[in-house]
Amino acid sequence: MGSKTALITGATSGIGKATAQIFAENGINLILCGRRKERLEKLSGELAKKTKVCFLSFDVRDREKVSESINSLDETFRDIDILINNAGNAHGLDPVDKGSIEDWDAMIDINVKGLLYVSRAIIPQMVKRKSGHIINIGSLAGKEVYPRGNVYCASKHAVDAINQGMRMDLYEHGIKVGAINPGLVETEFSEVRFKGDSERAQTVYQGYEPLKPEDIAEIIYFTVSRPRHVNIADLLVLPTDQASSSLISKNFK
Ligand code: NDP
Ligand code: 8X3
């Protein structure tokens, strides 16, 4: 694995950051992406002790900036073997009659269109080299819908469809495509969903044991370290205390 290069979107926090850490420990070269430059600088500095690292700061909604940033990579990082399409968030948790259109735009533009922009900028080079591995971070919310989840669930159902479509279009080019779909993971996700209301965000993870970002990162590393003939195409990963979006065993112990 030592000579592989991975580009991770949303590496400044949560699942993306934990994935960067485990990849670095295993000698995978890293291109860390996100909007928050200070965090990218800090993480790059830390991980540079373990592997080759660079970072690109861009908003996945900005199509031109996405391709400009990826095209600016120097020789060391230009050939991307692994793409982790992880950047994304929920914005709001409102019934559809009261939802903020800005929140809807954000979720569609980031979780769906942003993922497509990044993929479109990278896939042609994978096709040319006849190898590559794309992991799309979907969600349990892409497998079922829950009340007030409306547009976030729609965005993750879109990721599920894109994951299947990418695989159909790319397998003949020797490219692996798969999705990891987590249930509840304790990250900054709920803080973003509730617009900085940390008290409300904390309640999402109380009374049971949620997944940790490292749990998903370990699975992502396992997925990318399988031999060439093995592709983990679609994986649902839940906390043991969760059976579906609405079934969470809280305070039963
Ligand atoms: P975090 O909020 O901790 O991380 C989200 C990451 O996405 C950040 O690094 C953020 O970076 C990046 N991001 C958000 N918006 C943009 C943007 N416009 N442009 C570029 N980067 C962006 O949440 P998670 O780690 O939990 O989320 C990662 C993925 O996992 C998401 O796709 C989420 O939907 C999915 N997921 C999360 C679950 C959970 O329970 N936490 C469950 C199932 C799926 P920055 O702000 O610096 O740009
Ligand atoms: C994030 C998990 O249940 O908040 O995708 O939608 S949930």
Cα distances from 47 to residues 23, 83, 222, in angstroms, run 9, 18, 20
Q: How far apart are CA 103 and CA 168, in angstroms?
A: 31
Cα 31 to middle of ligand 1, angstroms: 16
185 Cβ inside 6 Å of ligand 1: yes
Q: What is the mean pLDDT of the chain?
A: 97
- Percent of the chain clearing pLDDT 90 (strictly above): 98
Place 251 in a pLDDT band, splitting at 50, 70 and 90.
confident
H or E element at residue 178 = strand 175-182
Residue 244 lies in a domain: no
Ligand 2 lined by 139 (C-beta under 6 Å): yes
**Does 146 participate in catalysis according to the annotation?**
no
How confident is the model over 209-228, as a mean pLDDT?
A: 98
Could you tell me where the DSSP H helices lie in the chain? 14-25, 37-47, 63-71, 75-78, 101-107, 115-129, 150-170, 189-193, 198-203, 213-224
Instruction: Give 119's contacts (C-beta < 8 A, 6+ positions apart).
Output: 83, 85, 134, 166
Residue 123 has pLDDT above 80, yes or no: yes
Tell me if 140 CB under 6 Å of ligand 2: yes
Whether residue 24 is contained in a domain is answered as: yes
Whether residue 243 is contained in a domain is answered as no
Looking at residue 59, which CATH number applies to its domain? 3.40.50.720
Give pLDDT tens digits for 144-189: 999 999 999 999 999 999 999 999 999 999 999 999 999 999 999 9
pLDDT value at 108 more than 60: yes
Domain count, the chain: 1
Span from the CA of 241 to the centroid of ligand 1 (angstroms): 22
Does any ligand 2 atom lie closer than 6 A to the CB of residue 107? no
Identified catalytic residue from 117, 146, 152, 205? 152
- Position 1 scores a pLDDT of 47
Look at residue 100 and tell me whether its pLDDT is greater than 80.
yes
Task: Please give the pLDDT value at position 3.
Answer: 85
246 found inside a domain: no
Residue 245 lies in a domain: no
pLDDT band at 252 (very low <50, low <70, confident <90, very high): low
The maximal CA–CA distance of the chain, rounded, in angstroms, is 54
| 110 assigned to some structural domain | yes
Tell whether 142 is covered by a domain: yes
- Give the mutation target among 115, 136, 160, 184 for probing the ligand 2 site: most ligand atoms within 8 A of CB: 184
**Domain with 200 in it:** 5-237
Q: Which ligand is nearest to the CA of 147?
A: 2
pLDDT at 205 over 80: yes
> Average of pLDDT values for 229-236?
98
Residue 250 lies in a domain: no
Choose which residue among 115, 189, 220 to substitute to test ligand 1 binding: the one with the highest number of ligand atoms within 8 A of its C-beta: 189
